[in-house]
Each structure stands twice: as C-alpha cells, then as structure tokens.
C-alpha cells in the first residue's frame, strides 16, 4: 500500500537538497505525519499515478526556494512587496502551471516543516476531534482540499463544503476527492470565500476552516465577519495565518500573534486553543522557510 514514504522517495529523486530535513521531521513525528501523508499518498497515486510523487517533489522544491528568496528580500527591505491583486489573480490563482505545483507544496509543508507540526496537531486533536456529531463544516479557501478530506477521513459523520477562488486549485481538490472514500460527504466549488451569501440566515456550520488564508487578503477583517456569520452558536473555527512571512501573494502583514486574535474578538469570537511557532532562519538547503512564524488558533463564538 502506498504510504508516506512515497513522498520522501520523490524528494530523493527530484529534490535531494530538501530530502534530509523532510525525512528528519517525518521520523521525529511519525504518527502525526503518517495521519496526513498516508491517505494523501493513496489519493495522489489513485488520482495522478506514480508520477504524482516526483511532481510533488518538484513543486515543493520550487516553493521552498521561492519562499526563501522572498523572505530574504523582506528582511532587507523591512516590508512586504506583494504583486497587485489583478496580477495575482491572473498570474497565480488562475494559472494552472503555477497553481498545481504550488498546491502540492502547500500540502507538503505541513509534515515536512518542523514549524508546521503543531499546526497539524491542533487541527486534528482540537478541531476535527472536537466537532459536534454530524457537523457541517465550511472550508474557506480550500485550495488543494486535503484539509477537508482529512477531516472527513477522521470523522465519517461530518460533511464538508469547500470554496476557493482558484479554478486550478479546485480541479486538484476535486481530483483527490473523486478517488477518496468521501466524495458523497465533501464538496469543492470555485467561489470567492469572502463573497458567500451573507443575506441568508447564518449559523449553519458547526465547524469552519480558514487555514493560511488571512495573509493573502488586502484586508482580513471581512474574513472574520464571514466566519462569525456562518458559525453556529456551538461551533468552532480552525484558523491559521503567517506572521512576517513574505511571499509574492502575501498581501497583509501580521506582526504579532495578537493581531488576528483582536480581529476575531471584534466579531464575537474567542480563542480557546492557540499556538505560535517561529521558524528559525536557516539556509534554504535545510528545507525551511527562514525567519517566518505561523500562528494557529481554534475559535469559538
């Protein structure tokens, strides 16, 4: 059976520079990384064949180099220098040649970067396992869809609706969904996550996922308004964002972990679990993003 090692073998073949660091992270967190990588490997091979693992390795290597270069520029200039939104939409979110490799990388940083391990643990143990029975879950900016599919894999009683602005990303998520065992309980559509119908009665979702989305927005405050509108009174939210982590499509610069917490509080949400992990500045050869931090929280109304 295909398992986590398939992705590591892909790195050995097509991204040797990054393989040792990734393997060390997986080995140090075997149970948690396998929870993510084992089903992903099964879905990836079924959807894309054996080439998926080398394609994923190429995408991961390209992403790591891009993040490292962007972070170097950020630390020299002291500020974000993102591209304008029209160019981001046409040259990033709507560009299949860019988005498909990016989607593989966006999955693999979770088990391959030490700074993301606590992210997986919080998502699985404090969000997915804490959802109410038969919960309806909304994923905002679902991207590759793996977060929603993992929720469905872990909780066979829940239903997931995922929306993303990028057609190539939704194509990837639906391809993985199509070979999973959860296609009757998971749905992915092309839709702007911030333009969901706010006129309908709110409170329809017992769980909301907003993972690594806020830093891509010109103004994240409307995101929290959307979350608060759609969250049930007894619902919970998994939220994560990057702190001072520069990339070509990171448009909002969070400096402190309290920044998104204050935005959440303004719409009536409160954090009851949170973690922040700083990524140490290392050479790109170690397979890390230098100088960035990631904050995550589980919110409740």
pLDDT, average across residues 94-110: 83
The answer to which of 10-24, 77-91, 169-183 has the lowest mean pLDDT is: 77-91
For the four alpha carbons of 169, 175, 176 and 181, in that order, the dihedral sign comes to positive
Is there a single domain that holds both residue 239 and residue 253?
A: yes
- On the question of pLDDT at 84 being above 60, the answer is no
Tell me what pLDDT residue 288 has: 46
Indicate if 238 and 265 belong to the same structural domain: yes
Domain boundary among 111, 134, 160: 111
**Shared domain check, 129 and 100:** no
Structural domain of residue 195, as residue ranges?
115-300
Rounded (5°) CA angle 196-179-210: 30
Note whether 47 and 161 are same-domain residues. no
Q: Counting every residue, how long is the chain?
A: 301
pLDDT at 290 over 50: no
Residue that is written with structure tokens 């160019």 in the block:
87
**pLDDT, the chain, mean:** 85
Quick one: pLDDT at residue 83? Answer: 57
136 band by pLDDT with thresholds 50, 70 and 90: very high
Quick: pLDDT tens for 232-282: 999 999 999 888 776 777 778 888 889 999 999 999 999 888 888 765 433
Cβ atoms < 10 Å from Cβ of 215 = 24
Domain endpoint, select from 87, 111, 135: 111
Q: How far is CA 115 from CA 109, 149, 192, 278, in A?
A: 9, 22, 29, 6
Q: Quick one: 101 and 124 in the same domain?
A: no
Domain count for the chain: 2
Distance CA 196, CA 194 (A): 6
Residues 6+ apart with CB under 8 A from 153: 39, 180, 181, 182
Is pLDDT above 90 for 148? yes
**Does the pLDDT at position 186 exceed 90?**
yes
């Amino acid at each position: 059976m295909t398992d986590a090692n398939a992705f590591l073998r892909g790195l050995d073949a097509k991204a040797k520079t990054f393989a040792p660091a990734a393997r060390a992270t997986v080995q140090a967190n075997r149970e948690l990384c396998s929870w993510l990588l084992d089903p992903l490997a099964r879905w990836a091979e079924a959807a894309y064949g054996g080439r998926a693992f080398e394609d994923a390795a190429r995408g991961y290597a390209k992403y790591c180099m891009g993040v490292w270069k962007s972070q170097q520029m950020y630390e020299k200039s002291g500020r974000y220098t993102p591209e304008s939104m029209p160019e981001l939409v046409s040259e990033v979110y709507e560009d299949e040649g860019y988005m498909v490799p990016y989607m593989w990388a966006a999955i693999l940083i979770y088990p391959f970067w030490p700074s993301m391990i606590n992210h997986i643990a919080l998502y699985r143990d404090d969000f997915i396992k804490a959802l109410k029975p038969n919960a309806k879950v909304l994923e905002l900016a679902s991207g590759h869809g793996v977060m929603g599919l993992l929720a469905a894999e872990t909780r066979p009683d829940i239903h997931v609706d995922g929306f993303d602005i990028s057609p190539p990303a939704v194509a990837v998520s639906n391809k993985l969904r199509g070979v999973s065992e959860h296609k009757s309980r998971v749905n992915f559509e092309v839709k702007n996550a911030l333009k969901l119908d706010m006129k309908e009665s709110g409170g329809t979702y017992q769980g909301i996922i907003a993972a690594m989305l806020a830093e891509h927005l010109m103004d994240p405050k409307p995101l929290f308004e959307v979350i608060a509108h759609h969250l049930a009174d007894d619902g919970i939210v998994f939220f994560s964002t990057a702190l001072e982590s520069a990339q070509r499509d990171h448009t909002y610069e969070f400096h402190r972990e309290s920044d998104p917490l204050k935005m959440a509080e303004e719409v009536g949400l409160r954090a009851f679990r949170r973690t922040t992990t700083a990524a140490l500045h290392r050479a790109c050869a170690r397979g890390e993003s230098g100088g960035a931090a990631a904050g995550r929280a589980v919110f409740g109304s």
